[in-house]
Chains A and B, each alone.
Chain A
Amino acid sequence: MYLVIVFLPLVSAIMAGLFGRFLGNKNSAYLATFCLGFTFFLCLIAFYEVGLCHSPCYIVSFPWIQSELFKVNWSFLFDSITVVMLIVVTSVSFLVHMYSIEYMGQDPHLSRFMSYLSFFTFFMLILVTADNFLQMFVGWEGVGLCSYLLINFYFTRVQANKAALKAMIVNRIGDFGLSLGMMALFFTFKTLDYNVVFNLAPLVVNENFCFFSFELNKITVICLLLFVGAVGKSAQLGLHTWLPDAMEGPTPVSALIHAATMVTAGVFLIIRCSPLFELSAIALDVLMVFGSLTAFFAATTGLLQNDVKRVIAYSTCSQLGYMVFACGASSYSVAMFHLANHAFFKALLFLTAGAIIHALRDEQDMRKMGGLAMLLPFAYSMIVIGSLSLMGFPFLTGFYSKDSILELVYSSYSSPAGFAYVLGTLAAFCTAFYSFRLIYLVFLSVPNGYKSYFNQVHETPYLMALPLVLLAFGSIFIGYLTKDLMLGMGTNFWGGSIYFLPERAGLFEAEFIPTNIKILPVCLSLLGAFTACLFYSSFFKFLVYLSVYVKDFYTFLNKKWYFDKIYNEVVGKFFIWFGYNMSFKLIDRGFVELFGPYGMSKLSFNLAKQFSLLQTGFLYHYIFMLLVGVTFFVGILSFGYYLNFWVDTRLYWLFMIGLFFIIFSDTRQILNQ
């Protein structure tokens, strides 16, 4: 059954991809959805067996690489965090499949789309079920590849092509760090198996890499390199630029990849490697700083975006920051909990945004919407549920995970915890603000779009509505239902899959922080929501008036803190200049050609030409050369025995070569004459 979980999506992808033209679009879509539904059902059983009954499952299938010390198997590990990820991935994927039947129903390439979606799910399952780093890397690269294919689904659009390339390449930067980290792991532990690495990790705590005479702690280096991988995949500050651009793909793709599954891979990697991260305080501090900066940056950027999907994309980025700094506070279980909850309400938000876009004939700009609450009451209620959950409204899913993250960070003993708490709380305010800004601009304000669009607005079809309803239930109840399971005091749900040092265990302290600190994030969230509604309803004129003075500020946030501009103008331009002028023109077509094929051929051609110039046609020259040659060889033959005693024989070669030069200079003179 466990192997069926992993390979059923692959079967579905192959059926829809290779036999789609025989099955037909609709049939292959239904088939893929059915396969994913069945996988989800099996995942529920796996969750019951592994998570609730505490019987982790370990399957070794067959060896992949065997080379002396290096041995990698294709093997699968199902423990608590794996089954949580399985539930998240397969449920969201199943619902997205179902949603896409209707959403992409008019698309002539539906079966290709379904194939990619299933293929993506397969790679995500490989990623989460792997029991060694190399197999995990297969999934890691696989989801990167599938994200390229899916973002680029409308391959005739140049923007989609560019966004897909950007996603692929920016991810590849992180993957380079990850592969370096894997090499460092192998160098240290001589294996890539999770269990061996994590069991041996405490032994090498005080060992150092010597790198250019710098002494670097092994665990810290490994953790930081793994984190570079996570930065790329989970869109942390620095390599986050691909995530908003990836909104070029169809909306179900955004829901599947950029909300629920692919971006969580980085956080999953950190949680999976908790036994390593625990041993490096520096790495944890880096996690905390980067996570909180990401949360704050993305939340402030999301404030003033005008594209529906981009707002949600930045909120994803921001929530990923929350998860990462929760990991930095050593509360991996909370990060995992937030990851699971976030998947549900973010998928809900994206799919509802898809429904709105679908209803408005692919209009994505919030400034051209408005007044849809009466026309699309279902989508309205869905997005309100999702947004309330996202901003951590009490007793909804997001509340249980997001607020406990902030409480944990507040009570953490780590040094950057205060920094992270302040940024996280501010981000919570911004989250509420942009969520309600979105709701207000799309649903409540006066209609701003074309009348013809509003005339044909239609309510969400059933096949699209059903996933939304299920996700809405998830967004409301999942947090409450699984809170005691995942976070409860003394829960043994995680078993051995998550490890934290006893001195860093913060869950107990977090329960006893002051009450006003506890309710502060909720108050700020409510305040943010209230301010957004107030600004965009009553004080709209004030906003317009204000815009004259804070134009720079607005541009700064709207242009994403100028990250893209700086990357393009400084980094991108420099590397393109380097690529063309240095490595291509100067090295490839310059040095290498000069000392390689071109220069050599020219040299030998010139040599041959000058050699042939020795034949002047004059008899007496020929005879002179003859005489010189005979004298040389006779001299060597008859006096060599005596000369060699005094002279190194290798000097003759030098002499010969020198002679060539003299001859050539002579022939040049002859030519000049």
Chain B
Amino acid sequence: MIVEQTYFLFTSILIFLTGMGGIFLNRKHIILLLISIELMLLAINLQFITFSVFLDDLFGQVAAFFILTVAAAESAIGLALLVVYYRIRGTIAVEKINLLKG
């Protein structure tokens, strides 16, 4: 049983790191960024569920549901912002979003 737990946790960490890498290595679309964020949230969800099962505690699954809703809301708002941004700028390339400099 312990071996399976590590598999699950390892998978979720891998997914999380993939999402993170997607965020800061990404130079193309903002959509990819949103997708990466979704991926990270997904990895966290997986972790919550894994712990919930292995600790035999329901709170982890409750949290996973909350995160699902939050992720949905977040991606909805994010996409809406993206649409507005595209209307104004006409592009969603990440490299072009550098108007605010230090």
Which A residues contact B (CB, under 8 angstroms)? 611-620, 623-624, 627
Q: Which of A613, A614, A617, A624 contacts B99 (CB 8 A)?
A: A617
Asked whether, in the complex, the Cβ of A620 is within 8 Å of the Cβ of B102, the reply is no
A617: nearest chain-B partner, CB-CB: B98
Interface bracket on B: 10 to 19
Asked whether, in the complex, the Cβ of B101 is within 8 Å of the Cβ of A616, the reply is yes
Query: Taking the complex as formed, is B27 at the interface, i.e. its CB lies under 8 A from any CB of chain A?
Result: yes
Q: Could you tell me the distance in whole angstroms from the C-beta of B97 to the nearest C-beta in chain A?
A: 6
10 new A-B contacts, CB < 8 A, other than A613-B102, A615-B102, are: A616-B101, A616-B102, A617-B98, A617-B99, A617-B101, A617-B102, A618-B98, A620-B26, A620-B27, A623-B24
**A–B Cβ pairs within 8 angstroms, 17 of them:** A612-B102, A615-B100, A616-B98, A616-B101, A616-B102, A617-B97, A617-B98, A617-B102, A618-B98, A619-B94, A619-B97, A620-B23, A620-B25, A620-B26, A620-B94, A623-B24, A624-B24
Q: Which of B20, B33, B94 contacts A627 (CB 8 A)?
A: B20
Asked whether, in the complex, the Cβ of A623 is within 8 Å of the Cβ of B23, the reply is yes
- Chain A residues with CB under 8 Å of B95's CB are 618
In the bound assembly, the distance between CA atoms of A618 and B97 in angstroms comes to: 6
B27: nearest chain-A partner, CB-CB: A620
The 10 A-B pairs with the shortest beta carbon distances in the complex, nearest first, are A615-B102, A617-B98, A612-B102, A617-B101, A623-B24, A620-B24, A624-B24, A618-B98, A623-B23, A617-B100
B97: nearest chain-A partner, CB-CB: A619
- Chain B residues with CB under 8 Å of A619's CB are 33, 94, 97
Q: Could you tell me the distance in whole angstroms from the C-beta of A669 to the nearest C-beta in chain B?
A: 16
Q: Could you tell me the distance in whole angstroms from the C-beta of A633 to the nearest C-beta in chain B?
A: 16
B95: nearest chain-A partner, CB-CB: A618
Q: Which of B25, B27, B33, B101 contacts A615 (CB 8 A)?
A: B101
A614: nearest chain-B partner, CB-CB: B102
- Chain A residues with CB under 8 Å of B26's CB are 620
- Chain B residues with CB under 8 Å of A613's CB are 102
A-B contact count (CB 8 A): 34
Q: Could you tell me the distance in whole angstroms from the C-beta of B18 to the nearest C-beta in chain A?
A: 14
In the bound assembly, the distance between CA atoms of A247 and B23 in angstroms comes to: 91
- Chain A residues with CB under 8 Å of B98's CB are 616-618
| Binary A-proximity of B28-54 (CB < 8 A = 1, otherwise 0) | 000001000000000000000000000
Specify which of A613, A614, A616, A618 lies most central, judged by the most chain B CB atoms within 10 Å of its CB.
A618
User: 8 Å CB contacts to A: which residues of B77-99?
Assistant: 94-95, 97-99
- Chain A residues with CB under 8 Å of B100's CB are 615, 617
In the bound assembly, the distance between CA atoms of A47 and B102 in angstroms comes to: 88
In the bound assembly, the distance between CA atoms of A612 and B20 in angstroms comes to: 25
Q: Could you tell me the distance in whole angstroms from the C-beta of B95 to the nearest C-beta in chain A?
A: 7
Q: Could you tell me the distance in whole angstroms from the C-beta of B96 to the nearest C-beta in chain A?
A: 10
Q: Could you tell me the distance in whole angstroms from the C-beta of B27 to the nearest C-beta in chain A?
A: 7
In the bound assembly, the distance between CA atoms of A618 and B96 in angstroms comes to: 8
- Chain A residues with CB under 8 Å of B94's CB are 618-620
In the bound assembly, the distance between CA atoms of A614 and B26 in angstroms comes to: 19
- Chain B residues with CB under 8 Å of A620's CB are 23-27, 94
- Chain B residues with CB under 8 Å of A611's CB are 102
Q: Could you tell me the distance in whole angstroms from the C-beta of A104 to the nearest C-beta in chain B?
A: 76
Q: Could you tell me the distance in whole angstroms from the C-beta of A613 to the nearest C-beta in chain B?
A: 6
In the bound assembly, the distance between CA atoms of A636 and B27 in angstroms comes to: 30
B30: nearest chain-A partner, CB-CB: A619
In the bound assembly, the distance between CA atoms of A613 and B101 in angstroms comes to: 8
A608: nearest chain-B partner, CB-CB: B102
In the bound assembly, the distance between CA atoms of A617 and B96 in angstroms comes to: 9
In the bound assembly, the distance between CA atoms of A614 and B100 in angstroms comes to: 12
A613: nearest chain-B partner, CB-CB: B102
Q: Could you tell me the distance in whole angstroms from the C-beta of B8 to the nearest C-beta in chain A?
A: 21
- Chain A residues with CB under 8 Å of B20's CB are 627
In the bound assembly, the distance between CA atoms of A623 and B102 in angstroms comes to: 15
- Chain A residues with CB under 8 Å of B102's CB are 611-617
In the bound assembly, the distance between CA atoms of A614 and B25 in angstroms comes to: 18
Q: Could you tell me the distance in whole angstroms from the C-beta of B86 to the nearest C-beta in chain A?
A: 16
- Chain B residues with CB under 8 Å of A618's CB are 94-95, 97-98
In the bound assembly, the distance between CA atoms of A620 and B26 in angstroms comes to: 7
Q: Could you tell me the distance in whole angstroms from the C-beta of B100 to the nearest C-beta in chain A?
A: 5
B23: nearest chain-A partner, CB-CB: A623
In the bound assembly, the distance between CA atoms of A620 and B98 in angstroms comes to: 10
Asked whether, in the complex, the Cβ of B24 is within 8 Å of the Cβ of A627, the reply is yes
- Chain B residues with CB under 8 Å of A616's CB are 98, 101-102
In the bound assembly, the distance between CA atoms of A260 and B5 in angstroms comes to: 111
Specify which of B26, B27, B99, B102 lies most central, judged by the most chain A CB atoms within 10 Å of its CB.
B102
- Chain A residues with CB under 8 Å of B99's CB are 617
A628: nearest chain-B partner, CB-CB: B24
B94: nearest chain-A partner, CB-CB: A619
Q: Could you tell me the distance in whole angstroms from the C-beta of B90 to the nearest C-beta in chain A?
A: 18
Q: Could you tell me the distance in whole angstroms from the C-beta of B59 to the nearest C-beta in chain A?
A: 23
Specify which of A611, A614, A617 lies most central, judged by the most chain B CB atoms within 10 Å of its CB.
A617
A609: nearest chain-B partner, CB-CB: B102
In the bound assembly, the distance between CA atoms of A614 and B23 in angstroms comes to: 19
In the bound assembly, the distance between CA atoms of A672 and B8 in angstroms comes to: 47
- Chain A residues with CB under 8 Å of B97's CB are 617-619
- Chain B residues with CB under 8 Å of A623's CB are 23-24
